[in-house]
Chains A and B, each alone.
Chain A
Amino acid sequence: MLWETVRLALTAIRRNVLRSFLTVLGVVIGVAAVIAMVTVGQGSSQQVASSVESLGTNVLIVRPGTQIMGPGSRNSAPPFKLADVTALGDLPALEAVAPVVTTSETAVFGNMNRMTSVTGTTAAYLDIGGWELARGRRFTSVEDRTGANVCIIGETVRTALFGATDPTGEKIRLKAISCEVIGLLVAKGAGSFGQDQDDIVIMPVRTVQRRLLGSQDVSTIMMQVAPGVSSDRAIGDIQALLRERRRISLGEDDNFAVMDMKELATMLNSVNAVLTGLLSSVAAVSLLVGGIGIMNIMLVSVTERTREIGIRLAVGAEARQVLMQFLVEAVVLSVLGGVIGIALGLGLAYVAAQFMAIPFTPGLGTILLAFGFSAAVGMVFGFFPARAAARLDPIEALHHQ
C-alpha cells in the first residue's frame, strides 16, 4: 500500500514537472548550500591539519609586536636582529632556530622569469619547516654566515624557469644578484590559506638582508622545541630571554609574540568550524523557506484536486489514506529536491575544492543528514495540507468545481 502511494505521488509529480521542480527549488538550494558549505569546511580543516603536520612537530614562531595575526603594533615594536637569533640558539629548550626574512622578487633565467617569494634564512629552516630536498644540497654554515649568492628553489619556480630539467648548478638572477641554484625542494602543495608553498626561493639570510632588502632586521624567528621539552616551557624560556634582551621592565607587556604552530592550527580550525556552522545555518534557513514553498503548493494542489479527493472518499478511501497520499507526495517531492540538492552541493564543493586547492572530502554523514532533513521538511510542511485534504467532506468535495 505504501509503495502504491509512492507511485501515485510520483505520477502526480510527473504530471506537472515544471511546477514540481519550482516547488522544490528552495529545498534544492538549501540542501546544496548546506552540503557545499560543510564539505568545503571539512576539506579546509583537513588542509590545515595536513599543513601543520608538514611543518614538523613543536614549531614556535616569534615576531615583534603583540599579535601574530591581525592588527598589531608591530611597526612600533623594535625588530629582531640576527644577534637575537644567535642568543635564542643558545637556549637548551630549543632544538633549532632560524631567522626568516621575506620579500618578493622576480627570478630570471634566460628569457624565463617568475615573480616569487624569496625567503632569507639558514639551513635550520629546512628542518623546522619540514622541507626535504629533491636534488642538490643545503647551505653550508659558511654560506649562511657570509651571505653567499646561492639559492634553493621550490618546484613551482623550477617548473616556471627550467621546465622539467635539472636546475642545480644553473645561475638565476634576482634583482642585481646572480645566484647559483644549489638545491630543489620536494613539492609540498598548497598551504593553510591555499597559498602555493612551492612558489619559493630560499637564500641565506644575510644575502637577502644585504642585497635585496638593505636592512639588518629579522621579521620572524622560527624555532623547533627540543625533544622532551614542553612547548609551554620553551615559550617561557623564549619570553624570559627576549624580555631581557629587549629591556622590557617588570609589569610591562611583551612587545613580541610567541606562537605555537599547533595552537595556530587549532585556532584556524575553530575559526573554520565557526564559519562553517554559521554559513550552514544560513543555508538551513533556505531549507525552511523551501519547506514553506512546498506547503504552499501542496495547499494549492489540495484545492485543485478537491474533486479527486471527493471521488476517492466516495469509493471508500479512509481519511488517513487521503492524508497519507498527500503526505507521501510532499515527502517524495522534498526528498527528490534533497537528492538533487545533494548532487548539486557535492558538485559545487568539488569545484570550490579545485579552486581553493583544498581536498574534496564528501562526508557520508553529511549526505545522510541532508537527506533525512529534506524528508523531515516534507513531513512537517506536508502535514498541514494533507490534513486539510483528509478533513474534506465527501459530498462537498464531489460538488467542488
Chain B
Amino acid sequence: MTGPLIELKGITRHYGSGEALVRALDGVDLAIGKGEFVAIMGPSGSGKSTAMNIIGCLDRPTGGSYRFNGVEVGTLDQDQRAILRRHFLGFVFQGFNLLPRTTALENVELPLIYKGQPRAERRARAMDALARVGLQGREHHSPAELSGGQQQRVAIARALASEPMVILADEPTGNLDTKRSVEIMELLVRLNRDAGLTIVMVTHEEDMAAFASRLVVFTDGRVVRDEAVGERVG
C-alpha cells in the first residue's frame, strides 16, 4: 500500500444546526505519510482538537472522506472505530489520563487486555514498553507516586504497548514544566526517528512544535499553513 497513511479530503465537522450551527472543521485536506512527525497548531477554536479527534477515530466527520492506511474509516460505527483504535492508534493526552490507584504496569497493560493478549505476554510487553520510555523499576508505582513527566512517560508507554502505527498526542507537554517538556519531546523524536513511528501532535507552544518535522496550522476550521520545519537535534 503506497500513498499517505492518513488522508483527509474535504473533511467537515458541524455542531448544532440552523442559527447555532458551528463549523468546527470547514473542508480540511490533509495527508500524513508514514514516519512523519507532524505538529498541529492554531488558536483555540481553530478546529485542531476536532481534527485530532477525527484522525483518532474518536469522532466522525460530518462530511468528506477520511482514509486510514487506504481504508475509508469516516463511516465506521463506534465499535468498529474502537477496534481500529485498539490495533493502530495510540493516544497521549495533556492530562495524562492514567487510571488512578492502578500501577504503571497495569496502566500500560490496559490496551493489551482489549487486544485479548494472555496475561504473561501482556506483562512482558508492558515491561518492555516501560523500559523504552526509561521507567524501569517504576512498574509498580501508582500515578500518584510519579512526577508529571514520569506520568506522561507511562502514558506514552501505554500508547506504545499495543504497537500502533500512529501516536496521537494532544498537548502532551501542556501540564509540564520546560525541562520535563523537552524530555518528553526528545522521547517522541527518538520514537519517531528510531522506530519510524508516525506522530501527530497538537500543541500551542512554538518551542515544542519545533521538534516536529512538519507544521500544520489551523484557523477557523481550515488548514492555513502546512510546511516542513527544521528539526532540532535532541
Contacts and interface: CB of A to CB of B under 8 A. Distances in A.
Q: Do the two shown chains form a genuine complex with each other?
A: yes
A320 B79 contact: yes
A395 B83 contact: no
Contacts of A395: 53, 58-59
Interface stretch (B1-9, B32-40, B109-117): B109-117
A316 B58 contact: no
A312 B83 CA distance: 12
A315 B111 contact: yes
B75 to A, nearest CB: 17
Interface string A137-157: 000000000000000000000
Interface string A244-277: 0000000000000000000000000000000000
A315 B162 contact: yes
Q: Which of the four size classes fits the interface of chain B?
A: 20 to 34
A311 interface: yes
Contacts of A316: 82-83, 85-87, 111, 114-115, 162
A4 B113 contact: yes
Interface string B5-16: 000000000000
A308 B110 CA distance: 11
A1 B162 contact: no
Interface in B38-66: 53, 56, 58-59
A352 B155 CA distance: 58
A4 B113 CA distance: 8
Query: Most A CB atoms within 10 A — which of B58, B91, B99?
Result: B58
B211 interface: no
Contacts of B97: 307, 310-311, 314, 398
Interface in B75-119: 78-79, 82-83, 85-87, 91, 93, 97-99, 101, 110-111, 113-116
Interface residues of A, number: 20
Nearest to B100: A308
B158 interface: yes
Contacts of A321: 114
A316 B85 CA distance: 5
Interface string A293-314: 0000000000000011011111
Interface string A1-30: 100100000000001000000000000000
Interface in A310-369: 310-321
Contacts of A307: 97
Contacts of A394: 58
Contacts of A398: 58, 93, 97
- Interface of A, helix, strand, loop or mixed by DSSP: helix
A314 B91 contact: yes
Nearest to B107: A311
B58 A15 contact: no
A111 B99 CA distance: 78
Contact of B79 (A1, A4, A319): A319
A313 B58 CA distance: 9
A319 B53 contact: no
A156 B106 CA distance: 68
A289 B89 CA distance: 44
Nearest to A3: B119
A110 to B, nearest CB: 74
Contact of B82 (A4, A310, A311, A317): A317
Given A315-B86, A394-B58, A308 B99 contact: yes
A327 B82 CA distance: 20
B215 to A, nearest CB: 25
Contact of A314 (B79, B83, B85, B116): B85
Contacts of A315: 85-86, 91, 110-111, 114, 158, 162
A308 B83 CA distance: 18
Contacts of B101: 15
A4 B110 CA distance: 11
Contacts of A312: 110, 114
A196 B82 CA distance: 71
Interface in A142-176: none
Nearest to A1: B116
A315 B86 CA distance: 6
Contacts of A311: 97-99, 110
Contacts of B53: 395
Contact of B83 (A4, A310, A318): A318
Interface of A: 1, 4, 15, 307-308, 310-321, 394-395, 398
6 contacts: A1-B116, A310-B97, A315-B85, A316-B82, A318-B79, A319-B79
Given A315-B85, A316-B115, A318-B83, 20 more contacts: A1-B116, A307-B97, A311-B99, A312-B110, A314-B56, A315-B111, A315-B158, A315-B162, A316-B82, A316-B85, A317-B86, A318-B78, A318-B79, A319-B82, A394-B58, A395-B53, A395-B58, A395-B59, A398-B58, A398-B93
7 A-B pairs with least C-beta separation = A316-B86, A315-B111, A318-B79, A316-B85, A316-B114, A318-B82, A394-B58
